[in-house]
A and B are shown apart, each in its own frame.
Chain A
Amino acid sequence: MRIWMTGLAILLFVGGALFFALGPQRTTSITLTFHAKMGDDPLIFDEFVYDNPGGSGTFRVRDFRFYLSNLTLSQDGALFAEPDSYHLLRFDNPETIHSIRLNDIPLRSIEHVRFMIGVDPEANGSIQVRGDLDPNSQMAWNWEVGYKFVVMEGTLRIGEEVSPLVYHVGFSENAREVDIQLPPDIGSDGNADLHVNVDLAKLFGGPSQIDLQKLSSVKFNREDAAMLADNYATMMTPMFR
């Protein structure tokens, strides 16, 4: 009797080990790397190297950052939603990139990466600190208005004249959803590496072409903000190799 029991236990153990070792992997890790660009080239801060897309003069960028929130990964019907998913993407580093790493997602592979540029209405109306949301940060307007979603600041120079550029786009209606479909070969080894270009030029040259001289600031005017939101909705392009 005892021999039988021992034999059965060994069989179960070996069988189980084989099942887990040879079966398909159960989790996937992913690194999302966002590359700040102006057109095709890496974004350059603090230098007058860019032409006003809709008018005369050159401009420089002092600050470009935005909130990416509600990141979800999915495969077939299975969905993984990152908890407290509020990332402030800023690019003030030598590579002008920002990476988000998610480890051991309970999906066998990833077909869709979805997120929001901006913040969902519930979090936008809250003063709770979560993820990178911080009501005492530069991205907070004040607790009655919520967060700036996308910030670009700089200077326009026309001849000898310089003037400030201030684009602060917020308001819950201006969050824009992005859906990236991954080709099947990405992440088949359980480790997905996704690179996304973020083209700042699209902020001024998406569906609407902006003359930085005419529209040198956008803050609380709802129509202007919506126009820039429709522009930044197009600034993300995945790079697949």
Chain B
Amino acid sequence: MLRVFLTAAVAVMVAATAWVFWDRARGSTATPIAGFSAPFVFGRFAVPPDNPLTEEAFALGRHLFYDPILSGNNQVSCATCHMQALAFTDGLAKSPALSGGELEFSSMSLINLLWGQERFFWDGRATSLEAQALMPIQHPDEMDQDLDALITELQASRDYRRMFRKAYGEVSAENVARALSTFMRMLISTDSKYDRFLRGEVRLTAQEEHGRKLFMAHPDTKVSLRGGNCIDCHSQFLTSGFRDALDGFSNNGLDSDDDLPDGLMAVTGNPAHKGFFKVPTLRNIAVTAPYMHDGRFETLEEVMDHYNDGIVVSDTLSPLILEADNAPEAGQNTVGLRMTPGEVQSIIAFLNTLTDEGFLTNTQFSNPFEGDG
């Protein structure tokens, strides 16, 4: 009897050891993310063929996103400037820089990145999420991390070795970028009141519906059509900038030629792109204050005031903004939409229907090192 038991025990141990070795040797065992869907009105999207969406990559990316190990001083994580409750912004005009002072641009929200522009950062300097992901890590004023040092640190962690192995095979900077990209691609918001309205599940209030109509219209006094002109830059369903080529970048009249920043021109070298910045998504816009690439506006009211009568003319200002005016008579010294206060409030009411509480509190997107993760 004892002999039988011992034999069985040895057999189990051999099998377990073999399984452990086999599991380590076989490399990635990633499972494609199943049951992932998005409204068809969001349109087409593309995932890089060399970085398919998998559960293991998502789990790894989520850990990396929230782990300060990614920074040189081990104190700054991606989530430091991208907080879920604020739609992955940080509530600051500009985040503090490591060397003192502040960063050049405001922290961007991370929502529905599978759709809309395929360039990232306010000036579009990254042409893929994978390229984007490694830039803040290495930036001396953001996370100031040397990639080789990071890989050494990650390799020293048993948990990370295991997660990388399951997701990709090996611990590498490329795979850090891939995992972070997968996590960001899955930050999908599809359950705002506007989404439920589009699905026919709820009705908008009269004020929200008025705001929606204004949002979707370029004003034309010749046919008495009033409009907020938002749709000329923010697509009707995604509310982000446009996907084609550089269509998702614009000069929205913030500065005069004398102090117009380079923006997209810094990347393309084309003077026609001076002062162009990425048109952000308006999903969850109510929680991402302050606004604009430099966070100059504290509230949505200030943003609307800008578009209503605060446009600053410059050479590359969008002609669609310069031309859009709801008042038939010529303006006196101001450029803007010249809507009524009621119309402005309606548009703000519509913008508030873009908030998706489920997205802001989804536990799949939260810090895995806290709570039940």
Contacts and interface: CB of A to CB of B under 8 A. Distances in A.
Contacts of B223: 220-221
B222 A88 contact: no
Contact of A136 (B225, B232, B237, B323): B237
B173 interface: no
A177 interface: no
Given A127-B41, A221-B223, A62 B319 contact: yes
Given A127-B41, A140-B235, A166-B319, A220 B220 contact: yes
Interface in A130-170: 134-138, 140-144, 153-155, 163-166, 168
B236 A142 contact: yes
B185 to A, nearest CB: 17
B236 A166 contact: no
A168 B218 CA distance: 10
B320 to A, nearest CB: 6
Contacts of A165: 319, 323
Interface in B232-258: 232, 235-238, 240, 242-245, 247
A141 B322 CA distance: 18
A165 B319 CA distance: 7
A168 B225 CA distance: 15
A129 B236 contact: no
Contacts of B245: 90, 92
B105 interface: no
Interface residues of B, number: 32
A137 B245 CA distance: 11
A155 B319 contact: yes
Contacts of A138: 232, 242, 244, 247
A45 interface: yes
Given A62-B319, A88-B244, A164-B322, A135 B43 contact: yes
Nearest to A92: B245
Interface string A80-103: 000000001010100000000000
Contacts, number: 86
B83 interface: no
B231 interface: yes
A136 B319 contact: no
B168 interface: no
Contacts of A144: 216
A52 to B, nearest CB: 15
Given A45-B272, A90-B245, A136 B222 contact: no
Nearest to A62: B319
Interface residues of A, number: 33
B222 A221 contact: yes
Given A90-B245, A92-B245, A136-B242, A143 B43 contact: no
Given A92-B245, A142-B236, A165-B319, A136 B43 contact: yes
A138 B244 CA distance: 8
Interface in B356-372: none
A137 B244 contact: yes
A165 B236 CA distance: 23
B320 A136 contact: no
A137 B242 contact: yes
B115 interface: yes
A134 B243 CA distance: 10
B231 A141 contact: yes
Contact of B323 (A46, A92, A166): A166
Contacts of A90: 244-245
Nearest to A143: B236
Contacts of B244: 88, 90, 134, 137-138
A203 to B, nearest CB: 16
Nearest to A144: B216
B218 A141 contact: yes
A168 B217 CA distance: 13
A129 B320 contact: no
A136 B218 contact: no
Given A46-B272, A221-B220, 15 more contacts: A45-B272, A134-B243, A135-B237, A136-B235, A137-B244, A137-B247, A140-B231, A142-B217, A144-B216, A153-B320, A154-B319, A219-B222, A220-B220, A220-B222, A220-B225
Shortest 10 CB-CB distances between A and B: which pairs? A164-B319, A136-B235, A142-B216, A164-B323, A164-B322, A46-B272, A220-B220, A219-B220, A221-B222, A138-B242
Interface of B: 40-44, 115-116, 216-218, 220, 222-223, 225, 231-232, 235-238, 240, 242-245, 247, 271-272, 319-320, 322-323
15 contacts: A46-B272, A92-B245, A134-B43, A136-B235, A136-B236, A138-B242, A142-B217, A153-B319, A155-B319, A164-B319, A165-B319, A168-B218, A219-B218, A219-B222, A220-B223
